[in-house]
């Protein structure tokens, strides 16, 4: 059984973070004053940087 590629994992993480950002329970936490030091946008930015790096330096074939 092979592991998913890092590119696939980054795409999955981006999808999950988008779902979290729009989830009613998460929105409710924000409305109640939840203010994390790092937020959803920070996570999305980190994944975007990782994706850009992967595009610049493609993974070697296994």
Give pLDDT tens digits for 8-40: 999 999 999 999 999 999 999 999 999 999 999
Predicted confidence (pLDDT) at residue 52 exceeds the cutoff of 90: yes
> What pLDDT, on a 0 to 100 scale, did the predictor assign at position 2?
85
pTM of the model: 0.80
pLDDT of residue 62: 54
In 3D space, the residue among 18, 11, 2 whose CA is nearest the CA of residue 50 turns out to be 11
């Amino acid at each position: 059984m092979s592991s998913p590629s890092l590119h696939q994992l980054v795409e999955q993480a981006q999808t999950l973070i988008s779902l979290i950002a729009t989830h009613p329970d998460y929105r409710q936490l924000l409305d109640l004053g939840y203010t994390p030091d790092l937020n959803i946008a920070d996570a999305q930015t980190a994944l975007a940087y990782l994706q850009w790096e992967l595009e610049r330096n493609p993974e070697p074939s296994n």
